[in-house]
Amino acid sequence: MADLPTATERFINGILPENPVYRQLLGLCPTLAVTNSLKAAITMAGAVGFVLLCANVITSLIRNLLKPHLRIVVFTLTIATFVTIADRFLAAYLYQMSKTLGPYIPLIIVNCIIICRCEVCASKQSPLVAATDAVGQSLGFGIALSSIAAIREILGTGALLGLRIMPASWPDWVIMVLPPGAFLTFGLLLGTVNWITARRGGKKTA
Amino acid sequence: MKPIDEILPTAPVIHVSPSPHLVQTASSTRRMMVDVLIALVPVVAMSLFVFRGYALFQLAVCLGGCLLAELVFVKMRGRPSTLKDGSAIVTGIILAMSLPGTAPWYVGTIAAFVAIGIGKIIFGGMGMNLFNPAMVGRAFVMISFAGALAASGFEDVRSAVDAISQATPMNAYKINGVVTPLTHLFWGTTNGSLGETSALACLLGGLYLVIRRTASWEIPAGLIAAVLVLGGVADLAGPADGWTVLHHILGGSLLFGAFFIATDPVTSPLTPTGKFIFGAGTGMLIMVLRLFSGYPEGVMFAVLFMNALTPLINRWSIPTPFGGK
């Protein structure tokens, strides 16, 4: 247990060195599906952050009661509880956004980022470490989603968060807000992140 | 004592190189690309004759874009320049010939960068790409700028060039049921993508490619055969509105696609059987898209779709070597 990362390390790792999207390639379904506008991406990242924080803390509190063969079921039930809260909250207060995100909010239940963090961190470390880990990973997820969404929204609609930032003559690259745009943008950004990491001589995660 | 090479000034040198022992140096990439360029001459000439300044403009934009993209992306990879093999020039011309003359400058530029960057260099450059680069670029702009590349984008009623001021034959038929006379489709005095309008020019260039064996005959043969069969069935089954199987073959970009786009040796299967299957599949998909989709034409999507199936067709059609399993 002694060699597990500390709370600070967990926090920093989540943002870039172990970024859930760019380094671990987890949670790609929402990454590709809801990043056609920055607003949707931020809402999604917020919902995932809320669920991840709550699930990590609860899992960490009950970590000594977990039976190895039942742990995934317990994780999933814990996550499902908070996803339901997030889903109902969005439906009540951000109805339009809830419509836009559609099935992707309930799908957070099977988001592998959260199960991964419960397994890797929360089921082994104290609630404080689990909480900082959750915040770090959520920030990393939010940064990844926002970077993809910003590029897609600017190129695809000439606007960001609904505010027009490109000149009026900007021809909208419609393909960028359609599914192919998600794959292209994600692939190019992933390549860029790998390229930067390689140039800085950083160690590669397999 | 004299050095050995002075004693035997004419000592024969024996080169031992690994197979394949190709004696004809004519089949280099560059030679193939020059052949394609020669074959494109009638097509380009016809487009310059019909569309005048529009064709010149698209050629300049697409060629400039492709060469610049090739230069930049190859430099980024830290590889020696590949401009001299001519593949970027061919991509640029085919791309320009597949765009409408009226497309604004950014359409050709973006298409060129996507074609070279995402269509080719990302896969590892010339010879490694899965999809026909020019068609990747064109598909990207076609979905992005639907206004400029949808059927109505081809027309400009104020244009001084006759062809540009008409509807394209494919669209006139799809929307209004107007049938363009076969002679117009054959000579190419209609509106359309720059290189597609003249069936005659495409046939001339295509026959040159096939005779030079730069393009295999199986792909265009399979493609046209499939269109003949399906077009014939559609002819018999559909309403007698005057749009016959011959219109299907001479109209749209069918012949241009059959000879210049589908025959790309990198993205089509290796064996003659595979090539025939590839051609027939492309022809079938073209007919399905033409008859049942919202688009008036389907050559681009059909070729891209069959490109994706090429590895499968290869696995299917490569014969087992003697003694192999």
Give B144's contacts in chain A (Cβ within 8 Å).
171-176
pLDDT digits (tens, 9 = 90+) for A79-123: 999 999 999 999 999 999 888 888 889 999 888 899 989 888 888
Q: Is the pLDDT of residue B4 over 60?
A: no
* Of B264, B258, B247, the residue nearest B223 (C-alpha): B258
Q: Which helix (H) or strand (E) holds A160?
A: strand A159-160
* B144 in contact with chain A, both atoms CB, cutoff 8 A: yes
Nearest to A175 among B104, B140, B148 (CB): B140
CA distance, residue A127 to nearest chain B CA (Å): 44
Q: Does A174 touch chain B (CB under 8 A)?
A: yes
B242–A contact, CB cutoff 8 A: no
What is the average pLDDT score of chain B? 86
Compute the mean pLDDT over every residue in chain A, rounded to the nearest whole number. Answer: 88
Q: Are the beta carbons of B63 and B218 closer than 8 angstroms?
A: no
Q: Quick check: is A206 in a domain? A: no
pLDDT at A205: 47
User: pTM surpassing 0.90?
Assistant: no
Instruction: Provide the residue range defining the domain that includes A49.
Output: 8-197
pLDDT for residue A201 is more than 80: no
* Nearest chain B Cα distance for residue A68, angstroms: 43
Give per-residue pLDDT as tens, B137-196: 999 998 888 877 776 778 777 777 777 878 888 888 887 778 888 888 888 888 888 888
Residue A204 included in any domain: no
**Which domains are seen in chain B, by residue range?**
30-315 (1.10.3430)
User: Has residue A2 been placed in a domain?
Assistant: no
Identify residue A193 by its one-letter amino acid code. V
Q: Write b or e for each residue in B220-253: b if 16 or more Cβ atoms lie within 10 A of its Cβ, otherwise e.
A: bbbbbebbbebbeebbeeeeeeebbbebbbbbbb
Which chain A residue's Cα is nearest to B110?
A173
Q: Which two tokens stand for residue B225?
A: 């055969």
Q: Does A178 touch chain B (CB under 8 A)?
A: yes
More confident residue, B27 or A83: A83
Q: What is the pLDDT at residue B134?
A: 93
Say whether residue B318 is in contact with chain A using an 8 A CB cutoff.
no
Q: Given pLDDT bands bounded at 50, 70 and 90, which one contains residue B325?
A: low
Residues 127-146 of A with CB under 8 A from B: none
Give this complex's ipTM.
0.81
Q: Is A172 on the interface with B (CB under 8 A)?
A: yes
Residue among A171, A178, A180 minimizing CB distance to B145: A171
Chain A environment of B104 (Cβ under 8 Å) = 171
Q: Residue B252 pLDDT > 80, yes or no?
A: yes
**Number of domains, chain A:** 1
Strand A163-164 with A159-160, pairing: antiparallel
What is the rounded average pLDDT of the residues B291-309? Answer: 90
Q: Write the CA distances from B151 to A197, B2, B49, B174, B252, integer angstroms.
A: 45, 79, 22, 10, 11
Per-residue model confidence (pLDDT) at position B41: 93
Dist. CA A101–CA A40, nearest whole Å:
7
The sign of the CA dihedral B170, B171, B172, B173 is positive
Residues in chain A: 206
Residue B118 and residue A184: Cβ atoms within 8 Å?
Answer: yes
Residue appearing with tokens 């320009």: B96
Cα–Cα distances in Å, from A43 out to A90, A173, B4, B230? 9, 24, 81, 50
Question: What confidence score (pLDDT) does residue A44 get?
Answer: 93
Confidence of residue A206 (pLDDT cuts 50, 70, 90): very low
Q: In this complex, do B143 and A184 lie within 8 Å of one another by their Cβ atoms?
A: no
Res. A57: pLDDT tops 50: yes
Nearest to A176 by CA among A165, A187, A192: A187
Question: Predicted confidence band at B66 (pLDDT cuts at 50, 70, 90)?
Answer: very high
Q: What confidence score (pLDDT) does residue B114 get?
A: 94
A25 in the Ramachandran plot: left (φ > 0), alpha (ψ -120 to 50) or beta?
Answer: left
Residue A203 lies in a domain: no
